Structure 1
Amino acid sequence: MHVLPDSFDMLSSSCLKDNPWHKFPFTGFVAMLSAIITLMIDSMATSLYSKKHKTALVLPESGGDQEMAVVEAAAHSHFHGHHHGSKLEVEGSQLLRYRVIAMVLELGIIVHSVVIGLSLGASNNTCSIKGLVAALCFHQMFEGMGLGGCILQAEYKFVKKAAMAFFFSVTTPFGIALGLALASSYKENSSRALITVGLLNASSAGLLIYMALVDLLAADFMGPKLQGSVKLQIKSYVAVLLGAGGMSLMAKWA
């Protein structure tokens, strides 16, 4: 909510040269390019995973060291066995999809968290830091809830879950520490800082918009659970609108 407007402000700043920064909408272009690249990564990763495990079924990583169980299809198998195997194959394919989504979302949130941490750590405006920290805490909490749900759906082993949670937890403090270290030489209104942070914000915005609309909202709303109940769809839409409204309010301070 706040990343894209910040990028527009930075890349259209009067501190930058008119040519080319004021003659071309770099923010929209980079965000669009980032969304397309995310689509490419998402599609290719899913395709590679599917081809790699074409004759195998991905099982939850809840126990044991073996992650793949080979599903052998017999030509003259019993109907019940064939139906059961098909169901397991669909579930395995869906699990692969969840894992790709979790990894891509983790990558996008990590980049975004480092950028906002860097901005906070390098900020010299002490009056706005308290409000910014409070907004940032809520912001990270909701992002963590979304990422945590994706990680749970992916059904990783405990070690992978802990590693993904750890990297999410340390990226913002790392960005803040980096910002503090660079505070003496970092100038928010310098052309280099405006261009670097502006382009990173635009790329993060494109990635997160794609993930939110395609891999999260569309996947849930077009799934069989919500498609089977109009009442549940209405409740979900209300929840989405309330969440968007809450994030919009927090964007005022972020």
Structure 2
Amino acid sequence: MRLFSRDDPSSDDELNCGSGGGADTFLPLRIASVFIILVGSTFGALFPVLAKRTRWLDERMPKALFDFVKYFGSGVIIATAFIHLLDPALEELGSPCLSEKWSEYPYALAICLGSIFMIFIVEIVAFRWGTKKLAKLGVGKIANDDHDILAQPQLSALGEKEKSINSGNTDLEINQTPRSLGDIGTNANTHRVQEGERHPHSGEIVDSALSQIVGVLILEFGVILHSLLIGLTLAVDPDFKVLFVVIVFHQTFEGLGVGSRLAHMELPPRFRYVPIWGALLYAITTPIGIAAGLGVRTTYNPGSTTASIVSGILDAFSAGILIYTGMVELLAHEFLFNREMIIGSNGKLAYAIGCMMLGCGIMALLGRWA
């Protein structure tokens, strides 16, 4: 979130790099914003979760609407990473309040890069050690062979056919040329059943309870840091009215993105409340940030040296988290490694991509004002 505007002609003359307070105007509306944004954030994050878990809503809401929220939210998260986090981080760590050493190296980009690799390592560690422990408890399963690692049956179909030929197995019609990716996936599945192999989805690491929880926790962590900074800025920013309207939509749309991920988690009964708690945690972060900002509004200066450094580092770190989540957890898993998308109709694929681009476009547009 931008803490000051470098394009504002008055900012060069009036920029306060000391310890002065933020704006104190519209105090009643700022207090009301705590509850207004709480309602919007709660609705955005909790509605997809409750709709998926409530039989009455689940039966009456078309699947296309759930898909819209899911892919729309993916676009929102990706746009948030680049437009609402990385760009402000570059501005904040390039503030004229900072010493010249901060301009000698692109620290914001370096922090973002380090964040991406840190999250990658965290996931690798969690999957290699944590999944085994959950498997002992009967929560997650570990893949035992190469077929289980492949999330998509069609990706290993040709290898299965070659194996069938080499082993002399005549159960699979090896002379039949598959007419589509769907046929390849079907033949591969048939061959697995005939060989007595487990269905690959029964042991996928990517679909284990641990992987889902870790993925959502990473997403929540990045979004929560961002939401706290948004709330803190809103409480003291002089351009409150415009920022307030934009942040209401911002938090609602971002809540839909988080809520849609939470809603589609398939967890054992013992973890059934994780999505609900995750939605509520997101909902309260921005109001907490606003309340904290109101509490320190007389001493906190969003344009000070310390504030620029802290918010710039947190924005860059959060940007790396959401970039990794958006590219790997959302785009790769939902499109490239999703059998339903690869062999599905062109119309369904176009609808999903369109929803994602719409969410990304709207969130990018909101970056014009916040």
Contact 2:131–2:208 (8 Å) recurs in 1? no
Matched residues in 2 for 1:240 and 1:87: separation? 26
Q: CA deviation digits over 1:55-107, x for unaligned, max 9?
A: 5653xxxxxxxxx79xxxxxxxxx78955676533489444322221121112
Partner Cα separation in structure 2 for residue 211 and residue 241 of structure 1: 16
Say which SS state the counterpart of residue 183 (structure 1) adopts. Answer: coil
Matched, 1:155 2:237: no
Q: 1:186 to 1:146 in 2, by over 3 A?
A: same
Contact 1:31 1:206 in 2 (8 A): yes
2:280 alignment partner AA: F
Counterpart of 1:192 (choices 306, 331, 337) is 306
- 1:11-54 CA-to-partner distances (Å, cap 9, x unmatched) read 11111111x11111111111111111111112222222322134
Match in the other structure for 1:29: 110
CA deviations 1:125-168 (Å, max 9, x no partner) are: 0xx21221221122112221121122222235443233212211
Distance 1:33 1:251 in 2: 24
Q: After alignment, is 157-166 or 27-36 more displaced?
A: 157-166
TM-score (norm 1): 0.82
Change (3 A) 1:155 1:215: same
Return the letter of the residue paired with 2:107: F
* Contact 1:135–1:250 (Cα < 8 Å) also in 2: yes
* Corresponding residue for residue 8 of structure 1: 90
Larger Cα-atom Rg: 2
CA offset digits 1:212-236 (Å, max 9, x no partner)? 1111111101211111125132332
Number of equivalenced pairs: 233
Mind listing any 5+ residue stretches in structure 1 that lack a counterpart? Answer: 59-67, 70-78
1:143 partnered with 2:254 = yes
Kindly indicate whether the alpha-carbon contact (under 8 Å) linking 2:201 and 2:207 is maintained by their aligned counterparts in 1.
no
Counterparts of 1:113 and 1:149, CA distance in 2? 18
Partner of 2:236 in structure 1? 122
Tell me the distance in 1 between the aligned counterparts of 2:344 and 2:137: 33
Q: Structure 2 unaligned segments of length 5 or more: list them.
A: 1-82, 142-192
Q: Report the secondary structure of 2:87's partner residue.
A: helix
**Contact 1:34-1:206 at 8 Å conserved across structures:** yes
Alignment pair present for 1:245 and 2:353:
no
Distance 2:281 2:95 in 1: 33
After superposition, residues 50-69 of structure 1 pair within 5 angstroms as 50-54=131-135, 57-58=138-139
Partner of 1:226: 341
Equivalent of residue 180 in structure 1, options 275, 279, 294: 294
Compared CA separation, residues 150 and 82, structure 1 to 2 (3 A): farther
Give the letter aligned to residue 354 of structure 2: V
CA contact (8 A) 1:102 1:151 kept: yes
CA contact (8 A) 1:35 1:210 kept: yes
* Identical aligned residues as a percent: 30
Q: Which amino acid aligns with 1:229?
A: G
Q: Classify the secondary structure of the residue corresponding to 2:97.
A: coil
User: Which of structures 1 and 2 has the larger relative contact order (alpha carbons within 8 angstroms, sep 6+)?
Assistant: 2
Residues 341 and 349, structure 2, Cα contact 8 Å, conserved in 1: yes
SS at match of 2:121: helix
What is the one-letter code of the residue matched to 1:220?
E
- Distance in 2 (CA, whole Å) between partners of 1:47 and 1:148 is 27
Judging changes above 3 Å, is the alpha-carbon distance between structure 1 residues 92 and 207 closer, same or farther for their aligned structure 2 residues? closer
TM-score, normalised to structure 2, is 0.58
Query: d(CA) in 2 for partners of 1:218 and 1:147?
Result: 17
2:203 aligned counterpart, secondary structure: helix
1:101 maps to a residue whose letter is G
